[in-house]
């Protein structure tokens, strides 16, 4: 009896994991733990706005977004759970891109990387998943980005991550 109930629970969980939902930005019921801090932001879709305290890469990207005149609003996506946007990776696991960015002309879905997280097979798996999703959803732009020099951010030209160009939102 317990095995059958467990199997039904697993089937239901798997069904929820792969269901398609409308993306709603911002979500209205987000709770932040002590690893987050409140920041001042004019363009964050969520008010008040929170970012991870110890994630300098994320803070630097927020600064870039706040200073970019083409950005209308931005939203930091969650990294787990059915309330957040995710794309399916080739290994079947879900990948949660970091950012939604609405510019004057486009909507971008971006995942920020830096240092060793911007190279290697893990980054390429994420890049391929996002690239595949973007090819099927032409009204969005995006990709993996990493910090360059002098406040310039670079976007991967392809999922091989062998060439990066200046990000122009």
Tracing tokens 């911007």 back to the chain, one arrives at 118
Taking residues 126-146, what's their average pLDDT? 95
Domains of the chain: 2-166 (3.40.1350)
**Cβ neighbours of residue 52 closer than 8 Å, sequence gap 6 or more:** 35, 36, 37, 58
Q: Can you give the pTM of this predicted structure?
A: 0.82
pLDDT for the residue 118: 86
Chain segment 41-72, per-residue pLDDT in tens: 999 998 888 888 898 999 999 999 999 999 99
Taking residues 4-11, what's their average pLDDT? 66
Q: How confident is the model at residue 100 (pLDDT cuts 50, 70, 90)?
A: very high
Q: How far is CA 12 from CA 18, 83, 138, in A?
A: 10, 16, 31
């Amino acid at each position: 009896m317990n095995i059958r109930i467990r199997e039904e629970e697993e089937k239901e969980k798997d069904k929820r994991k792969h269901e398609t939902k409308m993306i709603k930005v911002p979500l209205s019921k987000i709770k932040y733990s002590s690893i987050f801090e409140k920041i001042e932001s004019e363009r964050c879709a969520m008010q008040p706005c929170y970012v991870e305290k110890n994630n300098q890469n994320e803070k630097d990207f927020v600064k870039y977004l706040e200073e970019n005149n083409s950005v209308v609003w931005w939203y930091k996506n969650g990294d787990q759970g059915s309330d957040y946007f995710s794309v399916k990776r080739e290994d079947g696991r879900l990948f949660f891109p970091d950012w939604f960015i609405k510019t004057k002309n486009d909507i971008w879905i971006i995942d920020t990387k830096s240092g060793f997280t911007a190279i290697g097979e893990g980054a390429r798996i994420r890049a391929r998943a996002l690239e595949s999703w973007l090819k099927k959803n032409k009204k969005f732009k995006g990709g993996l980005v990493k910090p360059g020099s002098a406040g310039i951010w670079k976007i991967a030209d392809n999922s091989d991550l062998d060439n990066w160009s200046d990000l122009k939102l």
